[in-house]
């Protein structure tokens, strides 16, 4: 006897929704798949991702290493990455005519350098698999029916019934609200991946300076990150800041984005910094301290730190006092600044928080609360640092949800 067709609705036409819909429609011919998208345009975030170039994954092929790039959700993603990780993702796109390039830092982009190539591939694959895509659909409510089906009611009075529902609404408040109304707990959403504004005069006149291997830490926590730091007009940016904003997303939110920040400009710690200064004093006693920047630090920054440590004028290393060495060490290794707010990082941002992970079966991305309900992408309490990890979460969870919906016998 032929299968009764299974009605599958995917709410949200983003990366995760498309991947779930395509996978389900391609692999399970008994499923009739529809994507319902609120806005007039699908895949808008993919379009702007990576500055319009779409950093679609990262060349980190070992799941145990890959999960370390996720401040939230890494543990839950370990199993899924074994089944559908960056290797499978790259293969998926390349087999469908999207050649990729991997940059030296591991970020993977389409060779075309245009996110449109990725969008064309996804929309083409959806069309070929028979996925119906409806845009501009204003959903009013989603309710679970006693038959374990879902009823989706739109603002204009239309009702759609489905046997499987995939919520892939990204960081949309309405998506979280539906998850709650269907019985799920949601970790409060807060921003991740942002840059810092910095109060005070400390960094004034230093904008444009970049320093490698700086260690940033948030006093009172064990949050610390090492990487390149960029001093901007009125604040701090660069990989070290983005990493700290990601790992510290919740702490910084709880502190109202006002927090002391400690900068170890060399990333060496106090003991090694002091030893290096003393070593220099012995080796080069006749050189001028201020006018010969050391350890590769930019001149403007070195002069500023020296001045703040009370080291001025034409002081030679031979004449620097013990106390000045101590103060200079402190400035170099634990310079205090005040974060006074956050600003947007335009290349990529993501939401920390979302549907609680212990209520999801990560083999199928199926809800443990409702057997016909699935989640994928950013709606989950999963987020990664910059570098293609957030889209990888969308591909991986979307793919497994697509399989899960096709295979599940609920309803
Ligand atoms: C500027 C920017 C650049 C980025 N660059 C990168 C990058 O280069 N690499 C990377 O890995 N990550 C990047 N990210 C993050 C990445 O884009 C997201 O993590 C990813 O797109 C999440 O996919 P998703 O499908 O879960 O959610 P989304 O892409 O947000 O898709 C959700 C979809 O659901 C729709 N929707 C919402 N509410 C409703 C509703 N009520 N009814 C129907 N539909 C609804 C939305 O309109 C949207 O189309 C970037 C993010 C931003 C903002």
Q: Which residues pair with 224 in a beta bridge?
A: 217
Q: What is the position in ligand 1's atom list of the atom closest to the CA of 377? A: 26
Ligand 1 pocket test target in 10, 11, 12 with most atoms within 8 Å of CB: 12
CA distances from 348 to 55, 92, 192, 257, 293 (A): 10, 23, 10, 19, 35
What domains appear along the chain, each with residue ranges and CATH number?
6-190+347-407 (3.50.50.60), 196-342 (no CATH)
Which pLDDT value is given to residue 380? 98
Q: Which residue has the tokens 């529902």?
A: 165
Give the residue ranges of the chain where pLDDT is below 50.
1-2, 411
Find the 286 Cα to ligand 1 centroid distance in Å: 59
Q: Half-sphere exposure (CA, 13 Å, Cβ side) for 310?
A: 10
Which pLDDT value is given to residue 409? 66
Which pLDDT value is given to residue 146? 84
> Could you report how far apart the first and last alpha carbons of the chain are, in Å?
18
Find the 349 Cα to ligand 1 centroid distance in Å: 10
Which pLDDT value is given to residue 95? 98
Q: Of 66, 82, 109, 5, nearest to 400 (Cα)?
A: 82
Which pLDDT value is given to residue 411? 45
Q: What is the position in ligand 1's atom list of the atom closest to the CA of 49? A: 5
Question: 309: part of which helix (H) or strand (E)?
Answer: none
Distance CA 258, CA 254 (A): 9
Residue nearest to atom 53 of ligand 1 (CA): 349
Tokens of 236: 């701090």
Reported pTM: 0.96
Ligand 1-lining residues (CB < 6 angstroms): 11-17, 36-39, 44-46, 48-50, 54-55, 139, 168-170, 172, 174-175, 347-350, 377-378, 388-391, 394
Q: How far from the centroid of its chain's Cα atoms is residue 150's Cα?
A: 31
Count CB atoms within 10 A of the CB of residue 343: 15
Which pLDDT value is given to residue 348? 82
Ligand 1 pocket test target in 34, 49, 100, 174 with most atoms within 8 Å of CB: 49
Ligand 1 pocket test target in 169, 176, 193 with most atoms within 8 Å of CB: 169
Question: 175: part of which helix (H) or strand (E)?
Answer: helix 173-181
């Amino acid at each position: 006897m032929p299968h009764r067709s299974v009605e599958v609705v995917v709410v949200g036409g983003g990366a995760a929704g498309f991947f779930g819909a395509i996978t389900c429609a391609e692999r399970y011919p008994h499923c009739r798949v529809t994507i319902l998208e609120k806005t007039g345009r699908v895949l808008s975030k993919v379009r702007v991702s990576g500055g319009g170039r779409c950093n679609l994954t990262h060349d980190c092929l070992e799941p145990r290493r890959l999960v370390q790039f996720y401040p939230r959700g890494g543990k839950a993603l370990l199993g899924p990455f074994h089944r559908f990780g960056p290797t499978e993702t790259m293969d998926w796109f390349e087999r469908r005519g999207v050649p990729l390039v991997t940059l030296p830092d591991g970020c993977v982009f389409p060779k075309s350098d245009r996110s449109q190539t990725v969008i064309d591939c996804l929309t083409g694959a959806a069309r070929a698999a028979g996925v119906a895509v409806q845009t501009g659909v204003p959903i009013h409510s989603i309710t679970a029916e006693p038959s374990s089906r879902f009823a989706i009611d739109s603002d204009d009075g239309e009702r759609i019934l489905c046997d499987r529902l995939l919520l892939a609404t990204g960081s949309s408040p309405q998506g979280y609200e539906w998850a709650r109304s269907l019985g799920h707990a949601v970790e409060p959403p807060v921003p991740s991946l942002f840059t810092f504004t910095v109060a005070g005069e400390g960094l004034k006149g230093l904008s444009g300076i970049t320093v490698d291997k700086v260690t940033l830490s948030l006093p009172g926590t064990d949050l610390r990150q090492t990487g390149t730091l960029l001093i901007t007009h009125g604040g701090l940016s660069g990989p070290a800041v983005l990493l700290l904003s990601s790992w510290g997303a919740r702490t910084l939110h709880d502190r109202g984005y006002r927090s002391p920040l400690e900068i170890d400009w060399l990333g060496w710690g106090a003991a090694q910094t002091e030893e290096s200064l003393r070593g220099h004093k012995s080796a080069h006693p006749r050189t001028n301290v201020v006018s010969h920047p050391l350890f590769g630090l930019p001149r403007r920054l070195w002069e500023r730190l020296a001045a703040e440590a009370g080291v001025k004028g034409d002081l030679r290393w031979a004449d620097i006092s013990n106390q000045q060495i101590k103060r200079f060490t402190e400035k170099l290794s634990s310079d205090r600044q005040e974060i006074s707010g956050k600003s947007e990082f335009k290349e990529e941002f993501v939401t920390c928080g979302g549907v609680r992970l212990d209520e999801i079966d990560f083999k199928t991305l199926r809800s443990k609360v409702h057997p016909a309900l699935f989640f994928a992408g950013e709606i989950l309490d999963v987020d990664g640092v910059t570098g293609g990890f957030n889209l990888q979460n969308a591909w991986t969870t979307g793919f497994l949800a697509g399989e899960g919906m096709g295979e599940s016998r609920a309803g």
